[in-house]
């Protein structure tokens, strides 16, 4: 399994898709990296030579914030929002959506599983 940027990438997939296993690299960045390196995107990752892998690694190192550094940067951004007590920081703290989505219904990804609350039992009167 080839190793790029500290991440194992799948060796049996085309390199265009294998690069997307690196945190911070999506379809557009993967295509840009391969265009800059002059490598066809349909070539399987295990067929690349060592110098081609080194070339891709060099491009990643020079131009992109990826993996651990990107995760750290994102978490620092969220921590800054929490520290300055902004609305978005408060939503992060409570585990609710931050970008204006409705929460009366949906929002299950952020809120987690439903917490069932015992409702009032209606008392039926007999005549």
Give residue 117's pLDDT: 86
Architecture of the CATH domain 3-64: Orthogonal Bundle (1.10)
Give residue 88's pLDDT: 95
Residue 19 and residue 9 in contact, taking contact as beta carbons nearer than 8 Å: yes
Residue 92 and residue 78 in contact, taking contact as beta carbons nearer than 8 Å: yes
| Entry pTM | 0.75
Of the pLDDT bands very low, low, confident and very high (cuts 50, 70, 90), residue 14 is very high
pLDDT > 90 in the chain, percent: 72
Question: Bridge partners of 44?
Answer: 14
For the chain, give every domain's residue range.
Answer: 3-64, 75-111
- Dihedral of CA atoms 33, 76, 68, 57 in degrees, nearest 10, equals 20
Is 4.10.910.10 the CATH number for 75-111?
Answer: yes
Of the pLDDT bands very low, low, confident and very high (cuts 50, 70, 90), residue 70 is very high
Give residue 127's pLDDT: 64
């Amino acid at each position: 399994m080839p190793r790029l940027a500290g991440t194992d990438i799948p060796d049996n997939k085309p390199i265009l898709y294998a690069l997307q296993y690196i945190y911070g690299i999506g379809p557009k960045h993967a295509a840009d990296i391969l265009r800059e390196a002059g490598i066809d995107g349909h070539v399987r990752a295990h067929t690349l030579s060592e110098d081609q892998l080194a070339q891709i690694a060099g491009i990643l190192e020079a131009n992109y914030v990826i993996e651990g550094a990107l995760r750290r940067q994102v978490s620092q951004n969220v921590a800054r929002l929490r520290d300055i007590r902004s609305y978005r920081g408060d939503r992060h703290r409570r585990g609710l959506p931050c970008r204006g989505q409705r929460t009366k219904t949906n929002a299950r990804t952020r809120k987690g599983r439903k917490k069932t609350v015992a409702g009032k039992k209606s008392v039926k009167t007999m005549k």
